[in-house]
Amino acid sequence: MRAFIGPSFGDFEIDGAALSIAQASAKAVLAQAGLNAVAFFAITTKFEPRVVKSWQRYWQLLDQRPPRPRQELRTFHQLRALFDRALVVRNTNAAMAAMVALRDQHGLSAENRTFLEIRLHSAFGRWDQILNHPQWDDLLKVRLPPETYGDIWDALYETFLAQVEAQGAATQLVKAFAERVRTMAAPLLKSRGRSRRPAALKGFLLHELSLEQPSAELCVTLLSDLGPSAFGPASDAIMAMVQTLHTKSGIEQALHEMELERYEQALALLLPLADSVEVLQAQLRCAKEVGDPGHAREVLDRLSLSAPDTAAKVRTARARLLSDVEKLAAEEVCESLQEQLQTTHTPMAVDDVIIYWRELVQSPEASALLAQPSFIQSLLSSVEDSALDSSPLFESLFPIWFDWLIVQTPPSSVLSQLYLGFIEALNVRDRLGDSEREMIRLALRHSLIAGLTSAEYTVLIERLATVLSSPLSPREAAWALDVTDLLVMHPCRDEEARLRWTTRVVQAATQCWVRLSLAERCLLKLLAHEFDLELPKRLDDEVDEAEKARTDVRGRIFLYSLDTQAIRRAALILQEALPLTKIEINSDEVCSTRLKNGTRNADWVVFVSGVATHQAFFCIKAALRPDAALLQVEGSGTTRIVDCVINKSQISREVTSSNATHNGHH
């Protein structure tokens, strides 16, 4: 305040200025009311209008500030949900901030911090950082949470096996597992616990096939759990290999597997055997070691149905083991979604439901659930009923469901009401951060692609308008421009509503022009041109030196994404921002000749990993020239693609200038 009004015009009490009797009396009254007062006044009478005017301007500027988030203590589940929401939208800064808050407010242990770091790297596909983690050796020695266990298997599979799988050679795939993964993953092969991650299931199956005497029973079970086409082009050959295996049988073979600590293999052999004290005791031991509540429940049911005298002997001989298995079975989650959300849970039960859903949405069973209209309706009702609920369970489940249905699953008209439900659940929050706004944008994209009625479209735009504050902060303006870009790219059901939204956004964005990035400025100009909206003349003149300098960047840029409309608009913006570059786009899902040639000819290949196929990624990687750069875009949307290229052009210019300066000195 002192700096704004200026020491040349005002005297401040905090600088030692003496107060008049009236000012001192007024300050005493204000202090009694609980207010903290600071007195200041003009140096001379003639400066009073100037000081008053500066003071008024100061408060007008304060009123325009975006609301500051309050520092508040939040529960562990709230902070973990904040971390998960940040990962859904690939917001590294927000995810790291949530980790720091978990450490500071809840004493997050070093081990649990490592688990979250693994989750962070997995969400961003940083497989090398998982495999080279400083705590890697220690990680493999402890019983891992199912989520961390699955993330590590994803890293192993993507690094060593995914490219071999894409070639369709089953024998080579099994060989690659034996040579590259088996020794490294040995501690992980004792049991999967509750993990349903496809990479873990495939790893276990390949491990069995790589042995001299594979367990046919376990291979059949794993293949059934994975479902058809789990191994891509190698699926049929893997299935043929499993069908040629000879089944094993007998208690001796099962006990031998247990001696080798191969408890899943042993349990698969024990389940078909007739009831006996020895068989039931062995099943209990395997169920405990495997650590899956479903297997534990199955073994307990088997025990309860056995002959009374046999069951009594087992209960007497293995009372402690039986108690451990009963505790494990109690962690099994009921099937009804309504019961999961409405029942009053203990903290342990809440954790069990969260683990259940984290694993379920990653499993092959997830797609089967979406084929059931009753499940979709149940999930929609749960989202609508719980949106205003402060339950830690819903807070934790929401980002899990969102990641499953928005990030992992392609848009579908069957799920259109769920997309709208997600937007509404986010919109009713007291405060929206960057992650929540980005989640709204992603859900909006799915809604527009899935198809909306005219009434739904109009209501949706009206709801989006309530997200914006007045005036807009630069971050909100950037988000609103991205939303407008989405509305332009997809069929419009209400031209008038869209025009009202666009006009408001363009006018608001021009107010913070200097705070927008080059990509956002270019998008603003493009939108204004498309809707025949006139920008203030001064904006065309306010082009900074860095923006002018980028116009001399040369080279061939190859944009790849399955979001065809986004890369077309990105190419349009980049062609204007970097007029000397040649830009080509591609959206082929397979390794086509056009994709390979475009990659070979490019100096920079821009790959939007969130909207792409594995086959395209490996095709681009193989065709990339040694001197070319592969730029991976985190997230999706026009501005993210443009920003990625602009940032690269800036780095390239700095390197070129540095080299030129260095050569000049020589």
Kindly report the CATH number assigned to the domain that includes residue 597: 3.40.50.2300
Residues 6+ apart with CB under 8 A from 199: 150, 153, 154, 156, 157, 158
Q: Is residue 484 part of a domain?
A: yes
Residue 665 pLDDT more than 80?
no
What percentage of the chain's residues is helix, strand, coil (to nearest 5)? 70, 5, 30
Determine whether 334 is exposed, middle or buried from the number of CB atoms within 10 Å of its CB (0-12, 13-18, 19+): exposed
Residue 339 pLDDT more than 90?
no
Q: Is residue 234 part of a domain?
A: no
| Cα 48 to Cα 41: distance, rounded to the nearest angstrom | 8
pLDDT at 651: 73
Does residue 588 share a domain with residue 619? yes
Q: Please work out, in degrees rounded to the nearest 5, the angle formed at the alpha carbon of residue 539 by the alpha carbons of 536 and 541.
A: 120
Does residue 538 share a domain with residue 503? yes
Beta partners for residue 586, in sequence order = 560
Q: What is the 3-state secondary structure (H, E, C) of 376-404?
A: HHHHHHHHHHHCCCCCHHHHHHHHHHHHH
Does residue 466 share a domain with residue 571? no
Query: Regarding predicted confidence, which is higher, 610 or 302?
Result: 302
Q: Is residue 121 part of a domain?
A: no
Residue 331 pLDDT more than 70?
yes
Digit-coded pLDDT (tens) for 602-650: 999 999 987 788 788 889 999 999 999 999 998 788 999 998 998 888 7
Q: Is residue 48 part of a domain?
A: yes
Does residue 576 share a domain with residue 498? no
Residue where a domain terminates, one of 64, 93, 112: 64
| Cα 287 to Cα 324: distance, rounded to the nearest angstrom | 10
Per-residue confidence band for 551, with pLDDT thresholds at 50, 70 and 90? low
Residue where a domain terminates, one of 48, 64, 80: 64
Q: Is residue 413 part of a domain?
A: no
Residue where a domain terminates, one of 310, 325, 340: 325
Does residue 555 share a domain with residue 534? no
Q: Is residue 236 part of a domain?
A: no
Does residue 624 share a domain with residue 565? yes
Q: Is residue 156 part of a domain?
A: no
Q: For residue 209, which phi and psi values (nearest 5 degrees)?
A: -65, -20
Task: Read off the pTM.
Answer: 0.80
Per-residue confidence band for 561, with pLDDT thresholds at 50, 70 and 90? very high
Does residue 656 share a domain with residue 555? yes
Q: Is residue 554 part of a domain?
A: yes
Does residue 55 share a domain with residue 19? yes
Per-residue confidence band for 127, with pLDDT thresholds at 50, 70 and 90? very high
User: Which whole number is the average pLDDT over 370-377?
Assistant: 91
pLDDT at 54: 82
Domains in the chain, number: 4
Angle, in degrees to the nearest 10, between helices 198-209 and 146-160: 60
At 494, is the secondary structure helix, strand, or coil? Answer: coil
Domain residues for 489?
Answer: 462-542
Does residue 658 share a domain with residue 567? yes
Angle, in degrees to the nearest 10, between helices 216-226 and 263-270: 100
Distance linking the first and last C-alpha atoms of the chain: 51
| Cα 177 to Cα 508: distance, rounded to the nearest angstrom | 56
Does residue 301 share a domain with residue 286? yes
Tokens of 3: 């700096």
Does residue 562 share a domain with residue 530? no
Does residue 619 share a domain with residue 565? yes
